[in-house]
Amino acid sequence: LQQRRGLHLSTPAAIQVTVRDALNQALDEELERDERVFLLGEEVAQYDGAYKISRGLWKKYGDKRVIDTPISEMGFAGIAVGAAMVWLRPVCEFMTFNFSMQAIDQVINSAAKTCYMSAGSIAVPIVFRGPNGASAGVAAQHSQCFAAWYGHCPGLKVVSPWSAEDAKGLLKAAIRDDNPVVMLESELLYGVPFEMSEQAQSKEFVIPIGKAKIERQGTHVTLVAHSRPVGHCVEAAAVLSKEGVECEVINLRTIRPMDMETVEASVAKTNHLVTVEGGWPQFGVGAEICARIMEGPAFNYLDAPAVRVTGADVPMPYAKILEDNSIPQVKDIVFAVKKALNI
């Protein structure tokens, strides 16, 4: 009756939230939920974070829970790993994952391998998080994607969010996980607003690590991507839909462990596969997906070879026009789909 009269009961609904605010919300909720959780990294405390991800958390939780560190990735990553070994739950921020190369010994040898080498007696519940891949105008030493690097290593879980819901749900799941988790974010997505459902606004909302999401249903070709390229795939699918081509877009969300069941089921339906990523082609995430499809049952459903869309096989140029041509664009995905479909 109320609806007929144009009246609606006030219930929580979907809202627009930026990826930055979603991450901040996740950190705030987990700091409040578990006193073992703490943040550390360069400028995460008094400056509110280099990208304002930890905005307001130092003032709320104090020096012991939100800790500014010197500019020494190997040092503060080692401190974080040691803290995790005695069952604290550190969230270690790299100002960019390019700087994690300074600490890769701690991430791999100290964090990833310890549970196995101790026969399961020592867990390392730690999250390494920060921006990954290309930003804008920061050139070669600040632009590589580490999804394939860290996805290569047993002992780690690796997640790569796209939307605000991805960011919140995966970060909360990563903090609660008893294994080391690498969370690869995109700086270019931090300020982008996404719709956040009523469910995702809950303090108990988590996204299971290792489960992909179908962002768009389709019947002609499967597009698989992670992080920012998921948005490019959604845009490309909209363009192709006007030409009568319906793309199924899969947001991987997790690089390791990879949800191949969802990918295989989609390929069995569409009979075509295109992978999209910002990283380099050789030994990349797309290469791994293509190999697994070839080795598994979905290979028999392919009507054409799988196609990879990747970053260019060069160190990232500084000049904007060269940078744009080194990163997959919507037009590149459209071209790859038409190649796969032979149209």
- Cβ neighbours of 119 (radius 10 Å): 7
Cα(20)–Cα(336) distance, rounded to whole angstroms? Answer: 32
Give residue 61's identity as a one-letter amino acid code: Y
Are 161 and 235 contained in the same domain? no
Q: Within 10 Å of residue 297's Cβ, how many Cβ atoms?
A: 10
pTM of the model: 0.93
Question: Would you say residue 2 lies in a domain?
Answer: no
**Rounded to whole angstroms, how far apart are CA atoms 297 and 62?**
53
275/320 same-domain check: yes
- 217 and 154, same domain (yes or no): no
Say if 9 falls within a structural domain.
no
Question: Looking at the structure, do residues 261 and 223 belong to the same domain, yes or no?
Answer: yes
Sign of CA dihedral 26, 27, 32, 36: positive
Nearest residue to 149 via CA among 47, 322, 285, 35: 285
Q: Do 156 and 256 belong to one domain?
A: no
Residue 4, pLDDT score: 37
Is residue 251 situated within a structural domain? yes
Residue 327 belongs to some domain of the structure: yes
Which of 280, 301, 305, 279 minimizes the C-alpha distance to 291?
305
DSSP E strands in the chain: the ranges are: 15-18, 37-41, 66-68, 89-93, 127-131, 157-159, 181-185, 193-196, 213-216, 221-225, 247-251, 254-256, 273-276, 307-309
In this structure, the answer to whether residues 58 and 82 fall within a common structural domain is yes
Which of 201, 227, 252 is the last residue before a domain boundary?
Answer: 201
Q: Is 78 exposed, middle or buried (0-12, 13-18, 19+ CB in 10 A)?
A: middle
My answer on whether 336 and 299 are in the same domain is: yes
Specify the CATH number for the domain of residue 49. 3.40.50.970
Residue 108 placed within a domain? yes
The counts of H helices and E strands in the chain are 12, 14
Cβ–Cβ under 8 Å, residues 207 and 170: yes
Beta bridge partner(s), residue 222 = 248, 273
Of the residues 201, 222, 252, which one is the last residue of a structural domain? 201
Name the domain count of the chain: 2
Give the position of tokens 């690089």: 255
Per-residue tens of pLDDT for the chain, all 343 residues: 344 344 434 345 889 999 999 999 999 999 999 999 999 999 999 999 999 999 999 999 999 999 999 999 999 999 999 999 999 999 999 999 999 999 999 999 999 999 999 999 999 999 999 999 999 999 999 999 999 999 999 999 999 999 999 999 999 999 999 999 999 999 999 999 999 999 999 999 999 999 999 999 999 999 999 999 999 999 999 999 999 999 999 999 999 999 999 999 999 999 999 999 999 999 999 999 999 999 999 999 999 999 999 999 999 999 999 999 999 999 999 999 999 999 9
Catalytic residue among 29, 30, 42, 73: 73
Q: In 3D, which of 253, 238, 268, 263 has the Cα closest to residue 334?
A: 238
**Do 77 and 154 belong together in one domain?**
yes
Q: What is the CATH number of the domain that holds 217?
A: 3.40.50.920
Backbone angles phi, psi at 90, to 5 degrees: -75, 145
Residue 140 is part of which domain span? Answer: 15-201
Say whether 8 is catalytic: no
Same domain, 195 and 242: no
DSSP-derived secondary structure letter, 257: S
pLDDT per residue as tens digits for the range 58-100: 999 999 999 999 999 999 999 999 999 999 999 999 999 999 9
- Are 190 and 247 contained in the same domain? no
SS3 33: helix
The confidence score (pLDDT) of residue 13 equals 85
Name the token pair of 297: 């049952």
Torsion-angle region of residue 62: left (phi > 0), alpha (psi -120 to 50) or beta?
A: left
Q: Which of 29, 30, 93, 142 is catalytic?
A: 142
Asked whether residue 244 falls in the same domain as residue 303, the answer is yes
The pLDDT assigned to 8 comes to 39
